[in-house]
Chain A
Amino acid sequence: QKEVEQDPGPLSVPEGAIVSLNCTYSNSAFQYFMWYRQYSRKGPELLMYTYSSGNKEDGRFTAQVDKSSKYISLFIRDSQPSDSATYLCAMSTRGLTNAGKSTFGDGTTLTVKP
């Protein structure tokens, strides 16, 4: 079983739609959760990060974490064509024995059509 499973997509939505991107994880030691956006052949761009269960909002983006279900989501409201990209979830542990490497999902490619 993979440590991080991400809904594979691809996902195609009309402009203005609400988008839901999802990941599950198996390692209960994961404590820190991140969402990145990646354009083709570019570096991952950090969108949101959180460490607590519940919702965190930033503009059109909401990150949701449910540690009891080991499930995280990213919601995009009023999606725009410029949101078209691959979205990566990532998770890390925190501890004295490592410097918090991130484990990534495979990514979900989103296309927002005008």
Chain B
Amino acid sequence: EPEVTQTPSHQVTQMGQEVILRCVPISNHLYFYWYRQILGQKVEFLVSFYNNEISEKSEIFDDQFSVERPDGSNFTLKIRSTKLEDSAMYFCASSPRQGYEQYFGPGTRLTVT
């Protein structure tokens, strides 16, 4: 069964450093998302992406965040200058149709020290 994959599974970085989180969505899906979940809290929407551009972004997704689909398979989230409060699980999701069910990857645990 097709699934969303994410790398790395765990990333440790120092405050102020740039990180890139990578995702390979399900191959025939057209809509892509990033969510984050701070430990013990709810899953929060960051950004949605369709047709090579951002469709919607949350208040969390400020200028230090960016997304890219550099080729036909990868979908990346870049955090330019990490802060301690960026420590969280980051989940990539994809969907075959707008507003329908989303399939999540296993997540990348980001630890900022």
Contact = CB atoms under 8 A, between A and B. Distances in A.
A107 B38 CA distance: 13
Interface residues of B, number: 31
A84 B5 CA distance: 24
B75 interface: no
Interface of B: 4, 6, 31, 33, 35, 41-45, 48-50, 55-56, 58, 89, 91, 93, 95, 98-107, 109
Contacts, number: 83
Interface residues of A, number: 28
Interface of A: 31-32, 34, 36, 41-46, 49, 88, 90, 92-95, 97-107
B48 A43 contact: no
Give the one of B56, B104, B105, B107 with max A CB within 10 A. Answer: B104
Contacts of B50: 99
B99 A95 contact: yes
